[in-house]
Each structure stands twice: as C-alpha cells, then as structure tokens.
Structure 1
Amino acid sequence: MHRVGFVPCGPSRAGSEAMSRIMAADLRTTGVTVNLLLPGGLTATGMLPDDASPEGRRLLEPTVMAPPIVWLASDEAAGVHDERIIAANFETWRRARNV
C-alpha cells in the first residue's frame, strides 16, 4: 500500500511479505507450510476513512478472506507452500494451479 497517511499499514505489509518468504524458505523441508494471503484491494476493515475508495470502485468486504482461509486450513491445501494468494481472485488462482 502506497497511500499518504498509511505509514503503519504499507511498511508492515511489506515486512510481513518479506518475513513470510524467508519463513517459507527456512521451513521448506519441515512439513510446515507458509503462504501469504491478501484481500486483493482496499477492504472495508474500519481502518480506512469513508473517502478512501477511489471513485467508481467499491471496497472489498472482509469476508472475501473466508474461502481461502478455510481452504488453506484443509487437507486439500497440504502441499501448497510459498504462495502469494489474492483472496479476490482465489478461484482463478486455484483453477490455474489445479488445486
């Protein structure tokens, strides 16, 4: 995120992405999987001001995260590791990887 006034959010997101990639590499042979899940755009979390959504765009609902979270916690996702998953495009991502 590169928005004025969002100092805590942008750098912390970048840091968590970098840390996740390092953890994925460190844990690759352990059976522990590490993936990164992002909503895919501005999300109505209560952290954004009312005018944060650019004209013509709607905020994503936080529930966009639910299907990939449930799937990632399932046995079906056991072999998925070191992926950057965009929740808003989750079904497209799954079809592209046949998972």
Structure 2
Amino acid sequence: MRKGFVPYGPTKAALEAWSLILSKQLEGSGITVNVVLPGGPVDTIMVPGEDRSALISPNVMSPPMLGLFTEAGGKVTGQRFIAVEWDESLGIDPAAQQHAPAAWPQLAKPFSKMR
C-alpha cells in the first residue's frame, strides 16, 4: 500500500468479502463467485512513474480466468486465486491450483462463540 491509494485497499477488501457472501447466497444455483488477484502491482496506468520491469503483466490474469470459465471451474466457488501462483503445468482445473477461501473467513468468530 502506498500514499494516495486510500480508497483502493478498503474497496478491494470489501469486494472480496462481498464475493464470499455472494458465493454463499448463490450456492446450488449453478452460479459461482470467485476472486482472482494478480499477486502484486500490475503494469497499468494505476501505477504511474514506476520501473515497469518490476511490475506484473496484466496477461497473468488470463489462465486463472479461463480456468474458472471451464466446466471444472463451475465446481469451485468462494475461493481466492492469486494469478502469479497459477501453475499451468497442473492444467486448467482450478481445483488443482493453489487457492484459499476468499475474504479470510478463518478470522471470523462463529455467532455461537460471540458472548
């Protein structure tokens, strides 16, 4: 995070939390909701004045997005994929790729323990 990006971080976190909630709301409907993050600063106009060679190519997003649009991808929901960690040697099935639950649900306390 850097100065001037105040709205960016909270908005991304909110969208990730919303995505997890939406994935739960849509369970059983045939609609899946996942999060794909690039894995670092991407070479776009959002990152001005930087050494472009140190930035991630936007193309890194293609393999995980394509994988999630497959039939196998239709069985995965509520997950976060980091695009730079997508291993093309494992194939296109998102379930075979490294992923974690979206929105850090492991940090939340169940209602039953909130007393």
TM-score normalised by length of structure 2: 0.71
SS at match of 2:81: strand
Instruction: Determine the structure 2 residue equivalent to 1:98.
Output: 96
CA contact (8 A) 2:34 2:77 kept: yes
**CA offsets, 1:42-78, max 9 Å, x none?**
111111121377xxx8110000001111111112312
**In the alignment, structure 1 residue 4 sits paired with structure 2 residue 18:** no
Aligned-partner Cα distance in 2 for 1:97–1:18: 21
Instruction: Determine the structure 2 residue equivalent to 1:58.
Output: 54
Cα RMSD between the aligned structures? 2.4
Comparing 13-22 with 44-53, greater Cα deviation is found at: 44-53
Q: Write the letter of the residue equivalent to 1:19.
A: W
After the TM superposition, list the runs of 4 or more consecutive aligned residues in structure 1 that deviate by more than 6 angstroms: none
Bigger relative CO (Cα 8 Å, ≥ 6 apart) = 1
Is the radius of gyration larger for structure 1 or structure 2? Answer: 2
Instruction: Determine the structure 2 residue equivalent to 1:42.
Output: 41
- The runs of 5 or more residues in structure 2 that have no matched partner are 98-115
Aligned-partner Cα distance in 1 for 2:50–2:54: 11
Aligned-partner Cα distance in 1 for 2:47–2:96: 35
Instruction: Determine the structure 2 residue equivalent to 1:86.
Output: 82
SS at match of 1:85: strand
Identity %: 37
- Number of residue pairs matched? 94
